[in-house]
Structure 1
Amino acid sequence: MPFPPGDMLAAFGTYMRFQGLGQALAERHPEIAHRIEVAETAPLYLKVDLDGKRGVLLSHVRFPYTIMWGLTGPDLAADTSVLPLETREEALVDAVHAHVTAHLTGTPVPSPWRWHENEHSDLTELADLLDAQGVVVRRVTAGNRYSLRGPYYAPELVSPSHPAPHVDAAVDGHEVRISLKPRLGWMVDLWCPEVDLWTRIDLNGSLGRPLSPVPGVSRAALSVEDLAELIGDGPRAWEIEDVGDVRDESADGLGYQDLFLTVLGQLGTFGFTDVHEGDAEDPLRSEHFHIVLHRPEKDLSAPALKALNGEAAAAGDDVPKRLMVIARSGLSKPAAAFADQAKAFVFQLDERTGRLTGLHARAREVLLPRDKPDCQ
């Protein structure tokens, strides 16, 4: 007997996956077992009947470069979640059950599933609190980074370019992005439609706290409840940083003074509150940071960065300074790892535009989003 071809084995494996999901759903949530239907032939799906006509459907959705789980309620696009194929079985069946129960009882889909997430987190808690205040929560991106855009009959799969977990929301007509950065904590960015750019809200200033020289507020220093209250209070409660001006590339580039004024503006917008203009020899100065302009075009190595970090430690009068490097070059992988360990910030400078790019994880966390809000 010839061995079955690969596509036949794959199809049988998919069939068994759906059968297993149906069985798991019935065992985990027996009160809806009589409503479960699993297709026996292609196209395969798991359906939970609601009223004989409508249902909640779990199926595979094919996109140009990938296949996802699609969880669709009777309201089509308004209820559709997309989840990676590697999503755990328990998470899939609990998501189906949450949507079914909501429709059967006439209640909203509960959190975290209403936000297209499978697990509770600080971000889903924040979304719940904002929603309770009347804030429009547009998107929660925590464990599930995927969403759909466009009409239900031709959806486009979206994976945000913004790497950190975040909540997008609209407050009094203003679009905000609340991020929880792994190393730096909470940051809130505000979209400025008049210039098509993001700027940053100074959380410490908005809360009446002393300014911090480093962007972000740690999760331990700011509760989800206090953050939600601040966001819900709207623009009247926010201290907003000036928008950093990064010019388009020109034939002549920027002059020396304009270049560093552009860098200074960006650092201020990021939330580095004690970086200020210096002189011709040291154009950027700070009480907290030892700022180095690295002009060679060769990538910074780990030994070179460690030497600069030693200079920074010796530069402080009472306490060691932290290192900030503005470089023309890149950064080796070992140097990037050391920069994160030393809590330094290393940025690459585009001398034609003045734009700063983060060269390691901690530096990338302070950058502003580059994508427009979904509503734009």
Structure 2
Amino acid sequence: MPVCIRLLWTAPAYSNPVAPVGDPALTVPAAVVPVMDQWMRDTYVMTGPDGYYYMTGTTATPGRTFPAGRVHCWDYNDGLYLWRSKNMQQWEPMGRIWSFDKDAAAWQQKGKALEPGAMSPNKDLLDSFYRAVWAPELHYIKSKKKWLLIACINGGIGSFVLESTSGKPEGPYRNIKGNMYKAIFPNIDLSLFEDDNGEVYLIGHNHFIARMNKELSDVAEPFRKLEETPYPQEPYIEGVFITRHEGRYQLLQTIWSVKKADGTFSYLRNDKNKQDSLYSYDVVVAEADNIYGPYGPRYAAILQGGHNNIFKDLNGYWWSTTFFNPRGIMGTKFTVTCRPGLVPVKWTDGKLRPDAGRAATFYDALKSN
């Protein structure tokens, strides 16, 4: 009688930190250009239940610039803005849907004073403190038929969750109970994920997760660390996002690559070494069978497309957002930066990749319009 032996697969202790910079199959295709002329970072797009695509992101107060004429949002902006589209090519502005002055709670309005002696480039009263809202995400919670808006405040203030009181994506929005008086998460770049069973999770910057309660008014458990396969020394990682593909949880994160002395590239950035020049702003992906992990080895998915989200369009095709980050050596190739862009992506042998063919078709049509 033959003997059946079951082999147990054990994940390696660490992910491979080699960054495949220069691989054209992984780099944002050259055809990808801004879909509209709006200064934006951290672009976020989702497919609404009403047949519209909705876009938001980190924006700057209209007309506010550095003395050199460059738009900025680092220390101060005035709120959250929204756009919608039927085809992802022409975008209709829906205006400011949440503002510091009209909608923020006291703790959100307060901001944080600049360090003694520090001065923002504009050198005016508004720049004496941090009060900018960053990295918004718009989510439609199918199981509750509710719109939630997530964002964070700079200066170490933290992240928060808002709910639409009208049942519409444009709001108006109010704080949920869990962050009425303080941040629901004490760091930046909060994200959200609704599972197939209707459970909703908040995903926090630097590898944290917490399930929300049934009412979506607060977290139902403390934030805890995701179980991951780290790099040998973890670098700074941001832009966390979770989705599902073929039944498995996909954890997307953003990491800067650096060029090493031997000409190769690595994700092991030494923040104390000024000789490490930031090179590319990359999306890496890991997957797991359980939302809390353990997540397997990370792999590079979209080079120079960092702080993104991915979503399916109405026809079932996958897309990723991008914003043409001007920082880093690869960022110098962009003729226009800090603008919203869309990258068609696909799954090849179970791994996320840019789709250059669909990118060419989509942006040829955009040019003709």
Verify same fold: TM over 0.5.
no
Place the TM-score, normalised by the shorter chain, in its bin. Answer: under 0.3
Query: When the two structures are superposed, what TM-score results if normalisation uses the length of structure 2?
Result: 0.24
Structure number with higher helix proportion: 1
Computing the radius of gyration from Cα coordinates, the structure with the larger value is 1
- Return the structure number with greater relative CO, CA threshold 8 A, min gap 6: 2
Structure number with higher strand proportion: 2
